C-alpha cells in the first residue's frame, strides 16, 4: 500500500522543483482545458455560420418578427400599450 513516495522526504532542489511542477500541472491543466472547451462552445453557439447554430435560428426569428411588425397596421382608435 505504501507505493507512493513520501512528499516530506524530498531532500534536493531538483526533486522539489519537479514536485511543484507536478502539483501545478495537476491543478492547472484541467482548468485550462475547461476554459478552452467553454470558449469553443460559446463561439459555436453565438457565431452566425450559415444556419445551424442557435444564433442563426434567433436571427431568422427576429427577421420574421420584424416583417410581421412592419406589415401590421394599428387602427387609430386602438389603445396604446
Contacts of residue 46, defined as CB under 8 A and 6 or more positions apart, other chains included, come to 53, 54, 55
Whole-prediction pTM: 0.38
- Is 52 inside a domain boundary? yes
Torsion angle in degrees (nearest 10) through CA of 33, 39, 40, 43: 180
- Is 53 inside a domain boundary? yes
- Is 23 inside a domain boundary? yes
- Is 3 inside a domain boundary? no
- Is 77 inside a domain boundary? no
Give the residue numbers spanning the domain of 56.
18-70
Q: Quick check: 16 and 10 in contact, CB under 8 A?
A: yes
Instruction: Give the 3-state secondary structure of residue 53.
Output: coil
pLDDT in tens, the chain (81 residues): 567 777 677 678 887 888 889 999 999 999 888 888 888 787 776 666 666 677 778 888 898 988 888 887 766 676 666
Q: What is the pLDDT of residue 1?
A: 56
- Is 50 inside a domain boundary? yes
Q: Which of 69, 71, 47 is nearest to 59 (CA)?
A: 47
Q: How many domains does the chain have?
A: 1
Amino acid at each position: 500500500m505504501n507505493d507512493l513516495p513520501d512528499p516530506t522526504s524530498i531532500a534536493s532542489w531538483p526533486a522539489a522543483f519537479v514536485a511543484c511542477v507536478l502539483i501545478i500541472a495537476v491543478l492547472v491543466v484541467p482548468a485550462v482545458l475547461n476554459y478552452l472547451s467553454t470558449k469553443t462552445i460559446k463561439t459555436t453557439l453565438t457565431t452566425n455560420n450559415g444556419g445551424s447554430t442557435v444564433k442563426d435560428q434567433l436571427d431568422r426569428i427576429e427577421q420574421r418578427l420584424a416583417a410581421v411588425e412592419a406589415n401590421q397596421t394599428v387602427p387609430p382608435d386602438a389603445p396604446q400599450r
